[in-house]
Amino acid sequence: MASPHAEELPAEGTADPDAHIYEEVTLCERMELSQRLAVEELITTEASYVHNLQLCLSDIRAHLQQKQLPDLDLEGLFSNIDDILHLSRRFLRGLEATAAQEHDQLLGISTLFQEFKEEMETVYKTYCTSYDNALLLVESYRKDPRLQEEIMDTLNATVPHTSASDLSFFLVMPVQRVTKYPLLLGKILENTPAGTSAHQALAAAVSAMAQANANINEYKRQREVATKYNKAEHLTLRDRLARLNTHSIAKKTTRLSRLFMHEAGFVSKTEDKEYDNLEEKFQSVASSVAALKENVASYMAHLEAFLVPAPHKQELQMEEGPAQQYQHLAEHLHRAVFPEFKQRLDRLVWQPLCSLSEMLVGPQQLVKKRLDKLLDYEEIQERKSELGSVTYDEEAAMNTYLAINALLVAELPRFNQLVVQLLGQVLGSLCVLHQDLAAEVLHEAEKELKQLPHGHMPLPAFWRLVEDTLQQAGAQLCTFTQAFETVTPSPVTQPLTAAEERKVLSLVSKHGPDKLYQVTSNVSGSKDLDLTLQRGQIVALLQRVDTKGNTSRSPRVCACWQTAAL
């Protein structure tokens, strides 16, 4: 007899019709759990990341700044990490705010990433580009026992719980974080059912962050290419000759030939109006900076020459009055006001202008190198169109041109704007310095003016006094000028009578012709032994002293005589 429970046992090999339902429910629950954990990981790791950035800035960098180590380049180490912290704080607040959206949290996260994508790309571009240089600095500090000891002292004092061996432990965090965003989003996407709006939004967010990372990597590559070419080389003739070889000569010859064909119109130039406009503005700004630098240098040289003479240092005997007060004013200006103006001019105008001029060297080299690479690019493009393929080196040369061109097109607008802004600040400082100088000189002059007799006169009355004084002085000067310009008529030889001729012959025979003079004006004797003579009379001058040896009377008489023309 069969057991009564035999019918309750299912036959072996038959499937439960509801089993797949339980499996689907279990899979959905597992995906939902994984999704929730992935979202939590995104938010918690972002919070930890922001916390570490705060430690890096508020504790580590601040502690190193207090040490004031001259050989420690904090700006080179930490770059724009302040901008990253500011961005990450806002991004974290946005992530935490999505928790209140419940079912729309995934949409909120996706939207947040797409909104922050451009800003993230901008700030992380700068940091990732300078990261290699920061690592070089860390390595150089590691070789300096004194600096390494100071850095380790800072790490042990501020973040002992991290067991960091050097600063690279914190400096690498932004690089790691930006590359991890697509992975974290991808993990959430994997556990989101396909076909839902959240899945589409997350896919767009993953694509956006992947594109941001690709753009950062491309920008970093462009900067590396630019760094290779934007350094000005100061080579001697021997070094330049040492670089010459068949390859370099052939390359330069090809470029020169291509350039001549451009100018002759045999081949067309590659036109890039966007770049041409940017370069034209850049060259204009660069020439403006160079001209201003040259003018300021000349101005400072003349100012230096102006300060060398010091007339106020001469011991001049003068009475109390305006001349002495002017001497006091000139002495104060030369000793205090003008030297201070020169120092401020050097600090606020000349040094910033020199720094601005140095900033232009790299871009100028890059613009020059772009032209060389453009000529190579055109030559390779022409060969590629003929042969259908190029070598690996030629492909690399084409990519180099494209990288330099893309970097210049991207960076020149901002660079031109920055240079114009800095140039405006330098010119503004120059204007303010001259305004301050004029105000200081006026202040010192007014102090001396108050001590002058007319210093307290009303201004209109003072100017009337000045005008009257100048008119009187002008009239006197005119009189003096007329007196000096009046030409004294040449003396005319008076005709002689027969008796006078006999007298002249007698005087000539006795005294010789060298002692004979003709009186040019009447002379009246006023003292003993003085002669009274008439104009035109011929006399002989025997001696120039009187009987007592006095010569004071002789010039008075002689002044009226002139050699006679016989």
Per cent of the chain over pLDDT 70 is: 81
Residue 64 Cα to chain centre, angstroms: 29
Q: pLDDT tier at 327 (50, 70, 90 boundaries)?
A: confident
Q: pLDDT tier at 118 (50, 70, 90 boundaries)?
A: very high
Element (DSSP H or E) covering residue 562: strand 561-563
Residue 351 above 70 pLDDT? yes
Residue 519 above 90 pLDDT? no
Q: How far apart are CA 321 and CA 326, in angstroms?
A: 9
The hierarchical CATH code for the domain 258-449 is 1.20.1270.60
Element (DSSP H or E) covering residue 327: helix 322-332
**pLDDT by residue (tens digit) across 421-460?**
999 999 999 999 999 999 999 888 888 777 777 767 788 8
Q: Identify the residue with better confidence: 307 or 238.
A: 307
Q: How far apart are CA 105 and CA 198, in angstroms?
A: 9
When pLDDT is averaged across residues 499-521 and rounded to a whole number, the result is: 81
Residue 51 above 90 pLDDT? yes
Residue 40: the pLDDT is 93
As given in the structure block, the two tokens for residue 226 are 């630019």
Residue 295 above 90 pLDDT? yes
Residue 312: the pLDDT is 59
Class level of CATH domain 498-563: mainly beta
**Mean of per-residue pLDDT scores for the chain:** 82
Q: Which has the minimum average pLDDT: 246-250, 266-270, 407-411, 471-475? A: 246-250
Nearest to 148 by CA among 120, 162, 167, 171: 167
Q: How far apart are CA 46 and CA 190, in angstroms?
A: 20
When pLDDT is averaged across residues 243-252 and rounded to a whole number, the result is: 64
Which is the CATH superfamily of the domain at 20-229?
A: Dbl homology (DH) domain (1.20.900.10)
As given in the structure block, the two tokens for residue 425 are 């600040």
Q: pLDDT tier at 12 (50, 70, 90 boundaries)?
A: very low
Q: pLDDT tier at 13 (50, 70, 90 boundaries)?
A: very low
**pLDDT by residue (tens digit) across 198-225?**
899 999 999 999 999 999 999 998 888 8
Q: Answer yes or no: are the C-beta atoms of 334 and 326 closer than 8 Å.
A: no
Residue 181 above 80 pLDDT? yes
Q: pLDDT tier at 231 (50, 70, 90 boundaries)?
A: low
Highest mean pLDDT among 1-5, 23-27, 376-380: 376-380
As given in the structure block, the two tokens for residue 276 are 């041409």
Residue 418: the pLDDT is 94
Which neighbouring-strand residues pair with 563? 517
When pLDDT is averaged across residues 176-182 and rounded to a whole number, the result is: 95
As given in the structure block, the two tokens for residue 409 are 């097109």
Q: How far apart are CA 259 and CA 274, in angstroms?
A: 21
As given in the structure block, the two tokens for residue 335 are 């000793």
Q: How far apart are CA 551 and CA 544, in angstroms?
A: 6
Q: pLDDT tier at 509 (50, 70, 90 boundaries)?
A: confident
Which residues touch 566 (CB under 8 Å, ≥6 apart)?
504, 508, 513, 516
Q: How far apart are CA 303 and CA 305, in angstroms?
A: 5
Q: How far apart are CA 557 and CA 540, in angstroms?
A: 12
As given in the structure block, the two tokens for residue 36 are 């929730």
Please provide the size of the chain in residues: 566
Nearest to 198 by CA among 88, 95, 102: 102
Q: Which has the minimum average pLDDT: 114-128, 177-191, 501-515? A: 501-515
Residue 299 above 70 pLDDT? yes
Q: pLDDT tier at 487 (50, 70, 90 boundaries)?
A: low
Q: Answer yes or no: are the C-beta atoms of 42 and 202 closer than 8 Å.
A: no
C-alpha count within 13 angstroms, C-beta hemisphere, residue 394: 15
Residue 17: the pLDDT is 53
Residue 270: the pLDDT is 74
Q: How far apart are CA 378 and CA 272, in angstroms?
A: 13
Residue 566 above 50 pLDDT? no
Q: How far apart are CA 251 and CA 243, in angstroms?
A: 13
Nearest to 535 by CA among 480, 472, 566, 493: 493
Residue 400 above 60 pLDDT? yes
Per cent of the chain over pLDDT 90 is: 35
Backbone phi, then psi, for 159, in 5-degree steps?
A: -135, 60
